[in-house]
Amino acid sequence: MARAPIGRRIRERRRDRRMTQAALAEAVGISASYLNLIEHDKRQIGGTLLRRIAGALELEVGALSGVEDARLAQDVLEIGRSLGLHGLEEGTATDFVARAPDWARAFVTLHRAYRDSVETAGALSDRLSQDPALMELGHAVLNRVTAIRSFAEILEQYGDLAPQEQRRFAHIVAAESDQLATNAREMLTLLGGAAGEARPSSPEEEVDDFIIRNGNHFPALEEAADSLRAEAAAAAGGLAGVLDALAPSEPDAPGATGLPTIDLPEASLRFRRARRLAETRAADLLDATVDDPRLASDEARVRARGALASYIAGAILFPYEPFLETAEAMRYDIDRLAARFAGSFEQIAHRLVTLRRPGAEGVPFAFLRADPAGNLSKPFSIPGLRMPRFGGSCPRWALHAAFGEPDRPVAQLAVMPGGERHLFVARRVSKRTGGFGSAPVVFAVMLGCDAVYADRLVYGDAFAGRRDTLATPVGVNCRTCRRADCAQRAHAPVLTPAAGMIGAEA
C-alpha cells in the first residue's frame, strides 16, 4: 500500500500559514532537523506527535493522516501498472497525490469512466451477437429496412405508376416504417432504453444483475451471519452442535439435485446445514433483501433468496475477519484455506469474492464457472475484467484447461488484446450424485484478478520474473476478441480487427 504523503502536507500547510520550520518544531517540542525529515517523508509519524502537529497547524488529525490519500495513491499506482507501466514506484504515485490531489482523483475517475465504457461496449457487443431475442430483432430490423428501400425505389424510379399503385406502395412503406419503429423500440427496451442498462431476459440473469450491482457484498447479511454464529457458539455443543441438529437445505440452483444426505461430502453437508440455519433464522432479512425492483419476477426472487441464504451460510462458516486474515497469511492458497476452514474449493472461492468490506477488502476477484460443454454460470466481473454472460468464453482461459488437470489448480497469466494482464486460477470440481455407476456432476471454477496483485497470491510465484515469456494471449470470447490470428478462434469477431492489433501469439 502506498504511504500517505503526510510530510509534504505538513510542509505545505506550514508554508500557507507562513511559519518557519523552527517555529513549528518549537511549538510541537521537536528539533528543526527532525521536522525537516518528517516534511520530506523520511520519517513516518503518528499518535501524539501527529496530533500535536495537527493542533499547531490548526488542522484535524484526519487531514494529515491522509487515509484517503493513501488509498488514492494506491489506486493511481495500480492503474499505472495495469496499463503496463511496471516501472512505477510507490513514491511516484504518492508524490503525484501530494502535489495535485484533485488531478489524481480526476485521473482515477477518468480511468474508471474509460473502463466502464470498454466494459459496456464489450457487454453490448457480446449480447448483440449471442442473445437470441436481440438477434431476432436485428434480423427483423434489417428485413424492414430492405423492404422500405425496395418499395421506395419503385416509387422513385417509376413515376408513371397508376395512382392506385402509388397509394398501395406508399401504404406498404408506411406500414413497414411503423413496424421498423416498433422493432427498434423493442430492441432499445431489451438493451435498457434511456437507462442505458441491459435488461436481463431470464430469472437467472436478473439474479446475476442483482448480485453484481451489490458488488457481491451484503453488509446486512454479514451482520446476520455474525449474530447467528455467536448465538450458536453460546448454545450447547456450539456451532457444530447447532448445525448437526438441522436438516440440510435443498439446493435450488439450476442443475442442482437434491441428494440423500448420505451421499454428500462432509463440506457440502455442513454448508447445507448452515444454509438451513440462515433460511430459518434470517427469513425476514432474506425477504426484505430480495424485495428489490431489479428482481421483477417471482422466480427471480426465489432464486435470489436461495443465493443470499448461501451467502449467509458462507459467512457463518468462514467468518469475515479470521477468514481474510488467514487468506492474506496463506497468500490466497485456496486448497490450504479449504483445509483450514473445512470447506470445498468452490465454497472458498465464493467467499473470497465477497471480501469487499470498505476498509478491510481482500484481493478483488472475478468469478466464473463452466461445465464440460462450455455452459457458463455464476459470472461476477470486476473493473477491467469482464466475465462473459452470453455465449462462451475464450477457449484459452485456465477455466477450460482445468478440465484436463483434475487434481490440481491451474494458474495462468492472461494478457487481453488491449494489453491488460490478469492472473487466473481454476480447478475442476466434481460433485457426487449417487452410488456406484452414477456419473458425477463436473464443473470448472475460476477466479481472476488484476496481475498487479500477483505478488499477494501464491499462484503468482510461477510467473515471477518471467511475466513476458509465460503470459498467455487471450480474449473474453471469440465474438468480442479482436486478435488477428488466433488459432483457437471459433467465430468471426463482431468488430473488425484494428490495424496493428496484437496477434494471438504476441
- pLDDT tens-digit series, residues 492-506: 776 555 444 444 333
Q: How far apart are the C-alpha atoms of 419 and 297, rounded to whole Å?
A: 40
Q: Are strands 366-370 and 376-380 parallel, antiparallel or unpaired?
A: antiparallel
Q: How far apart are the C-alpha atoms of 479 and 393, rounded to whole Å?
A: 9
pLDDT at residue 154, as a whole number: 83
**Mean pLDDT value across residues 342-353:** 96
3-state helix, strand, coil split of the chain in percent (to 5) is: 55, 10, 35
Q: How far apart are the C-alpha atoms of 35 and 28, rounded to whole Å?
A: 10
**Mean pLDDT value across residues 457-469:** 86
Cell, residue 225:
451471519
Contact predicate 416/422, CB 8 Å? yes
Q: How far apart are the C-alpha atoms of 418 and 394, rounded to whole Å?
A: 15
Contact predicate 422/399, CB 8 Å? no
Q: How far apart are the C-alpha atoms of 373 and 376, rounded to whole Å?
A: 9
Cell numbers 465504457 correspond to what residue? 117
Q: Are strands 356-357 and 360-361 parallel, antiparallel or unpaired?
A: antiparallel
* Side-chain-facing half-sphere of 342: CA atoms under 13 Å: 12
Number of Cβ within a 10 Å radius of residue 382:
23
Residue 225: pLDDT band with limits 50, 70, 90: very high
Contact predicate 410/401, CB 8 Å? yes
Residue 193: pLDDT band with limits 50, 70, 90: very low
Cell, residue 331:
497468500
Q: How far apart are the C-alpha atoms of 351 and 334, rounded to whole Å?
A: 10
| Amino acid sitting at position 324 | L
Find how far residue 34's CA is from the centre of its chain: 45
Of 55, 50, 16, 17, nearest in space to 35 by CA:
50
**Angle 225-218-363 from CA coordinates, rounded to 5°:** 100
Q: Are strands 410-415 and 421-431 parallel, antiparallel or unpaired?
A: antiparallel
In whole angstroms, how far apart are CA 164 and each of 161, 169, 171, 172? 8, 9, 11, 13
pLDDT at residue 271, as a whole number: 94
pLDDT at residue 504, as a whole number: 39
**Mean pLDDT value across residues 300-311:** 94
Residue 62: pLDDT band with limits 50, 70, 90: low
With a pLDDT cut of 70, the percent of the chain lying above it is: 79
Residue 347 host element (H or E): helix 345-353
pLDDT at residue 2, as a whole number: 45
Question: What φ, ψ does residue 146 adopt, rounded to 5°?
Answer: -65, -45
Alpha-helix residue ranges (DSSP H) falling in 131-158: 132-157
Find how far residue 184's CA is from the centre of its chain: 31
Say which residues have a Cβ less than 8 Å from residue 486's Cβ, sequence separation at least 6.
396, 473, 475, 478, 503, 504
This prediction has a pTM of 0.64
3-class SS of residue 378:
strand
pLDDT in tens, 246-269: 878 776 544 444 445 556 788 989
